[in-house]
Amino acid sequence: MKIITGIQSSGKLHIGNYFGAIKPILEYQEQNNELFTFIADYHALTTSADPATTKQNTIDAVVDYLSLGIDPHKTTFFLQSDVPSLMELYFILSKFTPMGLLQRSHSYKDKIDKGLTPNHALFSYPVLMAADILMFDIDIVPVGKDQMQHLEIAQEIARKFNNEYGEVFTIPKMIVNEETAIVPGINGDKMSKSYGNTIDIFQSEKSLKKVCSKIITDSTELGSPIDYKNSNLYKLSALFLNENERIDLQKRYLSGNEGYGHFKMYLKDLIYSYYSDSMARREHYLNNMDEVYTILDIGAEKANSIAFNKMKEVRKAIGLGIR
């Protein structure tokens, strides 16, 4: 089974990225799957204009992925921009993408409402996402709830192409993890760099404490039971706990013996402990960047080999070229 996942190199990784995209990859790595994991630096251009920032964000994303446990021996790990054929497929697929299909995109409308400048790259984001998936004949795409519509668009584009030219593309299916599909940010909205409400993974303990203290809670006073079911603070803590630990934490919330200040510091301790090994690996990679570049070169070679053969098939199907 072929599985793919990617993440924009648009800033520091946060725990929403981890539970929504990275943790599932770590689990798939231990199964008998053919994995593709990439840093979506083309996609990142929709929200980044400064070249130096774009480059640094890409380096950080690569190092962070490796530090969190992505194993280049178990997944084809590459930069999106190292596979230029994706842009060719992106253009070809645009022919099979009705304008109305993109105009109905909830994600595009939401980003515009949040203040991002409308442009074609942002509008046609789902088409490039479709190219990312269809290029490698992916069977399964793990997605968050906010990405479900994008995958439905990819499915529709693939069907339209196949209906006209034969079974060229595999129709991908989606897997949605209902428990972690949407991780709340410190203000209760979906955690997103675009919304400025993230809890970054790699930061000092002092900085992490400051961020956790900003998590918005209700006005329940110390001594009163706290409704954990509607608490974003509890939901964030529960991500790091097993079932028994969650039950114990629920009892603490209901006891009235502790207030939100206690639980914010508890969350800080959970996060810092959970990622301590990853922090050590990150230091190693930052001090050995040649190792990182070699990993990317190997991944790019694998991805380009597959893309080359796929594009030969696509070009032949639509009549491009005379040789």
Q: Which residues are catalytic?
A: 111, 190, 193
The residues pairing with 175 across neighbouring beta strands, listed in sequence order, are: 142
**What is the rounded CA–CA span in Å between residue 78 and residue 144?**
21
- ∠ at Cα 242 (236, 245), nearest 5°? 85
156-182: buried (b, 16+ CB within 10 Å) or exposed (e) per residue?
bbbebbbeebeebbeebeeeebeebbb
Nearest to 124 by CA among 151, 102, 146, 95: 102
d(CA 301, CA 296): 9
Token look-up 């980003």 returns 111
User: Residue 135 and residue 303: Cα distance in Å, rounded?
Assistant: 9
Backbone angles phi, psi at 3, to 5 degrees: -130, 140
Alpha helices in the chain (DSSP H): 15-17, 23-29, 41-44, 51-67, 85-94, 99-103, 106-113, 120-123, 125-134, 148-165, 205-212, 232-238, 243-255, 260-274, 276-286, 289-318
Give the pair of three-digit tokens for residue 44: 């990142």
Q: How far is residue 174's CA from residue 139's CA, in Å, rounded to a whole number?
A: 8
Rounded distance between C-alpha atoms, residue 141 and residue 2, angstroms: 9
